[in-house]
C-alpha cells in the first residue's frame, strides 16, 4: 500500500505543478472554520457581551436599560463583595503556600524511577481524577460527626473528646476547605513539578555530587533554580484557581458560617441568580477578569 | 526505610477518603436503590452526563483535529490571530464569562440545553486540544501526506485516511481531558441548566445536600460520589500514560 503511493507519487511529481498546492489558503480556512466559529461565538462574543451587560441594568427577566456606570459604582458599596475579596485573597495566599510545599515534597519523594514508585505517583494523583464537586461531597460526608469516620477515629485515639466543628466556625471551615483542596490538587501539582524535575539532566546532579555538594546544597543551588519556570507555572495556576474558587465554598461550606467563607465568584453567582441582577454580576465579572489577566501578566513577567 | 514509611503513610492518607466513600456507600446497598428514585432518578442524570460528555469529547476531537491540521499544514490569512484568540481562552477566567454565555445561549435558543452546555465545554477545551493536535500533526513527516496527495487523494482524504491514524495518541489525550472536564464540571451546568430534568450528575448529587427532595441522606450521597468518581478513576488508571502526555506536551503552559 505504502509502496504504491510512493511510486505513483514520484511519477506525478515530474509532471505539472502539483494540484495539491492549488486552493491551499481556502482549504486552510475550511479546516480552521469550526475553531473560528467556536472561538468567535462562544468566547469573543461573550467577552464583548459581558462588557456591554456591565453598562446596563440587566435583570434576569425583562428588558435591559443603559445605566453606566451604576453597576461599577455600586461594587464598592457591596459589603458582601468587599468581604469576599479579603477572604478570597487570604484563602489564596494560604492555599498557594501549602499546596506548593506539599506538591514539591511529594514530587521530590517520587521523582526517582525506582520499582514501586509508579504506585505512589498514582496514589497521590488519584484524587485529582475525581471531580472537585464529588471530592467536596466526599469530605462533606467524611467530616460529618454522625456519619463520617474522622471524629470517631480522633476520639478513639484520644486526640479529641467531642466532635470537631469542621465547618462550624470560620477558621475551621477555612482549614477544612484547605485540607480538601490539598487532597484534591496536591497530586496534580506534583505531576506538573515532576515534568520539570525530569527535565533537569542527571549529569548536572552528578557533577554537583562529585564536587562534594551535600543534598541540601544540591536542592537549593540546583533543583530549585532549575525548577523555577515549572514552579512559576504551578504558582500561576494555583493563584488563578484559588482566586476563582467556587465549588469548594458553594458545596462544602455553603459560604458559612455567617457568610465567612463567601468567595468572589460566589458573589457573582448570588448577584446573578439570587438577586436577578445580571448587570451587576457582569460588572463584577469584568473587574475579576481585568484583575486576573493583569495579575497573570505580571506574574509571568516577574517569575519567568 | 524512613522514606518508605513516609511514602506508605502518605499513600494511605490520599487513598483513605476514596476507600471510605466506597465502603460508606456499600454499607447499606439500598443507598444505590434509593438513588434510582431520587429527584428525576439517577438514571436521568447519568444519561444527561453521558450525553454531555459524549458530545464534548466528540466535538472537541472533531474541531481540534481539523483545526490542528489547519494550523500545522496550511497558511491562511488570520492564522496567527485565530491561534492567539484560541489560546487567550486560557487567560480569561472561566467563571467570568459564564454569565454572558448564559445570556448568549438564550439568544441562540440553547439555554437549559445539554447541547449548549457541551458547546461551552468544547470551547473551554479548545486551547489545550488545539495546541496538542497542532503539535501532533507537526510531528508527522510531511512525506507521508504528500505521497497520498500526489496519489490523487484530496487533502481531506489524506487527513482522514492517513494522518488521523498517525495522531491517535494525541487524540486519546485530548479526549481523556475533555471527558474528565465535562463529566466532572459543576459550575457551568449549575449556571447554564435550570431545569431539574436536564441536570448532570454533579449538579443533581450536590442538590442532595440541600435537602431539595427531603432530609440529607449521607449514605446515598456517597453512592452519588461513587457513581461520579468510578468512571474517572477507571479511565485514569487505564489511560494514565495518555494523561501524563498532556502534562509533558507543555500545552498547559499556553
Task: Evaluate if residue A4 carries a pLDDT over 90.
Answer: no
Taking the CA of residue A227 and the nearest CA in chain B, the distance in Å comes to: 14
Rounded to 5 degrees, what are φ and ψ at A56?
A: -125, 150
Distance CA A132, CA A134 (A): 5
Interface test with A, best of B96, B101, B119, B123 (most A CBs within 10 A): B96
**3-class secondary structure for A21-69?**
HCCHHHHHHHHHHHHHHHHHHHHHHHHHHHHHHCCEECECCCCCEECCC
Q: Which of B149, B186, B221 sits opposite A247 (nearest CB)?
A: B186
Q: A residues 65-124 near B, CB within 8 Å?
A: 106, 109-110, 119-120, 122-124
Question: How far is residue B88's CA from residue B110's CA, in Å, rounded to a whole number?
Answer: 24
Task: Find the CATH number of the domain harbouring A123.
Answer: 1.10.3720.10
pLDDT digits (tens, 9 = 90+) for A224-245: 999 998 999 899 999 999 999 9
User: pTM of this prediction?
Assistant: 0.91
**What domains lie within chain B, and their CATH numbers?**
2-253 (1.10.3720.10)
Under the banding of pLDDT at 50, 70 and 90, the label for residue A1 is very low
The answer to the question of residue A2 being in a domain is no
The alpha-carbon radius of gyration of chain A (Å, integer) is 26
C-alpha cell at B111: 439555554
Given this model, what pLDDT does residue A133 score? 96
Comparing A12-16, A105-109, B60-64, the range with the smallest average pLDDT is A12-16
Q: What angle do CA A134, B90, A55 make, to 5 degrees?
A: 95
A184 within domain boundaries:
yes
Q: Could A133 and B186 be called an inter-chain contact, meaning their C-beta atoms sit closer than 8 Å? A: yes
Cβ(B35)–Cβ(B223) below 8 Å: yes
Is A82 among the domain residues? yes
pLDDT tens by residue, B168-193: 999 999 999 999 999 999 999 999 99
For residue A146, is pLDDT > 80?
A: yes
Q: Which of residues 223-252 of B touch A (CB under 8 A)?
A: 224-225, 228-229, 232-233, 235-237, 240, 244, 247-248, 252
Q: Does B109 touch chain A (CB under 8 A)?
A: no
Q: Is residue A105 part of a domain?
A: yes
Backbone angles phi, psi at B157, to 5 degrees: -70, -40
Q: Residue A295 domain-assigned?
A: yes
CA-derived radius of gyration, chain B:
21
Contact yes or no for A134 and B93 at CB 8 A: no
Structural domain total, chain A: 1
The answer to the question of residue A53 being in a domain is no
pLDDT at site B160? 85
Is residue A47 domain-resident? no
Contact A141 B67 (CB under 8 A): no
H or E element: which one contains A168? none
Cis peptide upstream of residue A253 (ω within 30 degrees of 0): no
Are A110 and A121 within 8 A, CB to CB? yes
Task: Tell me the β-bridge partners of A57.
Answer: A65
SS3 of chain B: CHHHHHHHHHHHHHHHHHHHHHHHHHCCCHHHHHHHCCCCCHHHHHHHHHHHHHHHHHHHHHHHHHHHHHHHHCCCCCHHHHHHHHHHHHHCCHHHHHHHHHHHHHHCCCCCCHHHHHHHHHHHHHHHHHHHHHHHHHCCCHHHHHHHHHCCCCHHHHHHHHHHHHCHHHHHHHHHHHHHHHHHCCHHHHHHCCCHHHCCHHHHHHHHHHCCCCCCCHHHHHHHHHHHHHHHHHHHHHCHHHHHHHHHCCHHHC
Which of B56, B63, B88, B93 has the highest number of chain A CBs within 10 A, making it the mutation to test binding with A?
B93
Touching check for A195 and chain B: CB below 8 Å?
A: yes
Domain containing A91: what range? 76-303
**Are A285 and B96 a contacting pair at CB < 8 A?**
yes
Nearest CB partner across the interface for B14, out of A49, A183, A233: A183
> Above 90 in pLDDT, residue B152?
no
Say whether the peptide bond before residue A69 is cis (omega within 30 degrees of 0). Answer: yes
Sort out which chain B residues have CB atoms less than 8 A from A9's CB and list them: 146-147, 150-151
pLDDT band at A13 (very low <50, low <70, confident <90, very high): very low
Cα-based torsion angle of the residue sequence A237, A242, A247, A250 in order, rounded to the nearest 10 degrees: -170
A35, part of any domain: no
Which of B66, B10, B185 has its CA nearest to residue A135?
Answer: B185
- Taking the C-alpha atoms of residue B71 and residue B49, their distance in angstroms, rounded to an integer, is 32
Q: Is B91 on the interface with A (CB under 8 A)?
A: yes
Amino acid at each position: 500500500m505504502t509502496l504504491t503511493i510512493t511510486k505513483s507519487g514520484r511519477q506525478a511529481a515530474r509532471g505539472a505543478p502539483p494540484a495539491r498546492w492549488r486552493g491551499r489558503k481556502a482549504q486552510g480556512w475550511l479546516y480552521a472554520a469550526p475553531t473560528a466559529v467556536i472561538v468567535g461565538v462562544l468566547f469573543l462574543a461573550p467577552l464583548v457581551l459581558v462588557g456591554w451587560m456591565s453598562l446596563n441594568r440587566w435583570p434576569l427577566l425583562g428588558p435591559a436599560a443603559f445605566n453606566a456606570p451604576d453597576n461599577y459604582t455600586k461594587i464598592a458599596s457591596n459589603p458582601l463583595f468587599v468581604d469576599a475579596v479579603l477572604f478570597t485573597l487570604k484563602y489564596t495566599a494560604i492555599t498557594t503556600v501549602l499546596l506548593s510545599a506539599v506538591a514539591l515534597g511529594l514530587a521530590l519523594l517520587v521523582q526517582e524511577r525506582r520499582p514501586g514508585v509508579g504506585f505512589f505517583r498514582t496514589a497521590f494523583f488519584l484524587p485529582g481524577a475525581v471531580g472537585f464537586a464529588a471530592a467536596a461531597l466526599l469530605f462533606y460526608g467524611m467530616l460529618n460527626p454522625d456519619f463520617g469516620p474522622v471524629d470517631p477515629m480522633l476520639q478513639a485515639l484520644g486526640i479529641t473528646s467531642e466532635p470537631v466543628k469542621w465547618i462550624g466556625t470560620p477558621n475551621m471551615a477555612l482549614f477544612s476547605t484547605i485540607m480538601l483542596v490539598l487532597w484534591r490538587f496536591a497530586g496534580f501539582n506534583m505531576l506538573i513539578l515532576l515534568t520539570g524535575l525530569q527535565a533537569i539532566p542527571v549529569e548536572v546532579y552528578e557533577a554537583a555530587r562529585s564536587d562534594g555538594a551535600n543534598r541540601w546544597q544540591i536542592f537549593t543551588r540546583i533543583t530549585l533554580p532549575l525548577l523555577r519556570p515549572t514552579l512559576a507555572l504551578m504558582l500561576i495556576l494555583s493563584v488563578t484557581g484559588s482566586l476563582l474558587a467556587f465549588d469548594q465554598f458553594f458545596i462544602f461550606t455553603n459560604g458559612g458560617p455567617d457568610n465567612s467563607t463567601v468567595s468572589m465568584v460566589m458573589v457573582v453567582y448570588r448577584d446573578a441568580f439570587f438577586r436577578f441582577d445580571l448587570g451587576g454580576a457582569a460588572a463584577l465579572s469584568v473587574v475579576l477578569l481585568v484583575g486576573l489577566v493583569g495579575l497573570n501578566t505580571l506574574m509571568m513577567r516577574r517569575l519567568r | 526505610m524512613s522514606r518508605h514509611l513516609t511514602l506508605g503513610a502518605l499513600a494511605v492518607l490520599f487513598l483513605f477518603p476514596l476507600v471510605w466513600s466506597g465502603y460508606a456507600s456499600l454499607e447499606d446497598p439500598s443507598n444505590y436503590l434509593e438513588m434510582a428514585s431520587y429527584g428525576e432518578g439517577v438514571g436521568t442524570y447519568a444519561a444527561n452526563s453521558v450525553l454531555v460528555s459524549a458530545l464534548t469529547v466528540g466535538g472537541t476531537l472533531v474541531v481540534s483535529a481539523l483545526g490542528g491540521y489547519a494550523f500545522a499544514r496550511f497558511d491562511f490569512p488570520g492564522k496567527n490571530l485565530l491561534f492567539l484568540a484560541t489560546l487567550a481562552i486560557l487567560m480569561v477566567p472561566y467563571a467570568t464569562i459564564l454569565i454572558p454565555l448564559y445570556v448568549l445561549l438564550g439568544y441562540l435558543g440553547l439555554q437549559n440545553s445539554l447541547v449548549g452546555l457541551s458547546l461551552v465545554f468544547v470551547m473551554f477545551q479548545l486551547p489545550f486540544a488545539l495546541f496538542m493536535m497542532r503539535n501532533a500533526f507537526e510531528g508527522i513527516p510531511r512525506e507521508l501526506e504528500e505521497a497520498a496527495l500526489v496519489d490523487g487523494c484530496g487533502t481531506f482524504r489524506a487527513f482522514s485516511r492517513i494522518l488521523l491514524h498517525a495522531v491517535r495518541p494525541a487524540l486519546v489525550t485530548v479526549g481523556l481531558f475533555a471527558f474528565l472536564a465535562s463529566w466532572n464540571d459543576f459550575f457551568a451546568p449549575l449556571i447554564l441548566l435550570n431545569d431539574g430534568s436536564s441536570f448532570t450528575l454533579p449538579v443533581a448529587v450536590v442538590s442532595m445536600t440541600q435537602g431539595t427532595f427531603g432530609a440529607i441522606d449521607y449514605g446515598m450521597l456517597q453512592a452519588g460520589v461513587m457513581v461520579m468518581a468510578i468512571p474517572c478513576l477507571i479511565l485514569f488508571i487505564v489511560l494514565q500514560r495518555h494523561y501524563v502526555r498532556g502534562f509533558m506536551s507543555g500545552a498547559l503552559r499556553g
